[in-house]
Amino acid sequence: MNDPYPPPPLSAPRPASAPRRRMGCLTVLLVLLLAASVFVNLALFGALGMQAGGEGRIVERKLRDLDETVLEEAKAGSSDKIALIRLTGVIAYSVEGTSGESMVSDLKKALQQAAKDDAVKAILLVVESPGGEVTASDTLYHAVRTARGKKPVVVYMQSVAASGGYYVACGGSWLMAADTTITGSIGVIWQTLQYKELLGKIGLGTLTFKSGKFKDLLNGAREVTQEEVDYVQGMVMQTYERFLRVVAAERKLDADAIREGVADGRIFSGTDAKSNGLIDDTGYIEDAVKKARELGKAEHASVVEYSARFSLAKLFRMLGEARSERTTVRLDLGQGAFPQLEPGKLYLLPPHLVGAPVR
């Protein structure tokens, strides 16, 4: 069944290089945009000044950081809204955001705007994520839980909402997935490479000077000690216990029971997740919208989605990163769908994704 609220289409790829003759026009356009921005800011400042009260106090106006796109019109003239927010892709601070520094800050900003808007009666968080970094996932879980304290948060899991994606989802008021959704994967993983034997075969070796025995922890150029193994395993289990406690508390499950059962890293279909108490119900996106309206007591509410405002700073940054003198050819061998794991970080990911390249 087609998603009635599909994500906005990606923009067409830009040419790798542009003719030099266009640079002059582009410069003029940027100057005009900059001048327009200054004019608008001055006009806004003037408007705020004109709203000064009788005692000379300027009335503060809180402008929204994100624009709204109406996905479904309200009925019966209602002014109520359901805010649809998407969590898509790998959860990581290194993933660039569209309105903030990272995808983490983007989602936090959207949740905060929805929570502060009195017209928004409920939030619908649509999750399409295999998981990601431990800290980033925990931060977003906290942000969802904070928003839940102000209004209902319905979480709808699409194709994949596993590991860190499920961790974040646990912050919601009501969890729903499709019968065919892949979810669960409650666990923590840390992986490194061992290349000592490879170096020996080609006649290479390493010489390491360190201030302490753990400073080159898990160095792949030498044998790993049992003390290092125990130390790292302890860190992994500490994080795992935090994940497990979140699931147990949010889903009202016995921690010891799920430790020996569903919280062993396995994945579940939406159907099995419901039977094991990991979610509340299965259905389609329309059912999640209906549930959000029900919990928000807003039967006729519209459905709106947030998008980033136009930013000259972001435009300048994009132009600065553009390479007009070089053409880059990228060969995709099917790895684009996998997260790029970074060494030295703990991850909440399904096991089949851990074989992804480490950068």
Domains of the chain, first to last: 65-185+265-317 (3.90.226.10), 188-263 (no CATH)
- Per-residue pLDDT tens for 158-214? 999 999 999 999 999 999 999 999 999 999 988 888 888 888 889 888 888 889 888
> Quick one: tokens of 91?
């959860």
Confidence of residue 120 (pLDDT cuts 50, 70, 90): very high
Compute the chain's Rg from CA coordinates: 25
Cβ burial, residue 272 (10 Å; 0-12/13-18/19+): middle
For tokens 């060969």, the residue is 331
Confidence of residue 354 (pLDDT cuts 50, 70, 90): low
For tokens 């408007």, the residue is 47
Query: Cβ neighbours of residue 260 under 8 Å, at least 6 residues apart?
Result: none
Q: What is the largest CA-CA distance in the chain?
A: 83
- Per-residue pLDDT tens for 16-67? 455 555 556 666 666 666 666 656 555 555 544 444 444 343 333 344 678 8
Distance CA 308, CA 65 (A): 8
Residue 280 CA to its chain's centroid (Å) = 22
DSSP three-state, residue 155: strand
pTM, to two decimals:
0.74
Q: Dihedrals φ, ψ of 70, to 5°?
A: -80, 120
For tokens 């026009």, the residue is 25
Residues known to be catalytic: 163, 215
The DSSP letter of residue 34 is: H
Residue 335 has pLDDT above 50, yes or no: no
The DSSP letter of residue 5 is: S
Q: Name the more confident of 11 and 289.
A: 289
Residue 253 has pLDDT above 90, yes or no: yes
Angle between helices 103-116 and 134-148 (to 10 degrees): 0
Cβ neighbour number for residue 207 with a 10 Å cutoff: 5
| Mean pLDDT of the 138-142 span | 97
DSSP three-state, residue 336: coil
Cβ burial, residue 88 (10 Å; 0-12/13-18/19+): middle
Supply the pLDDT for residue 183.
Answer: 97
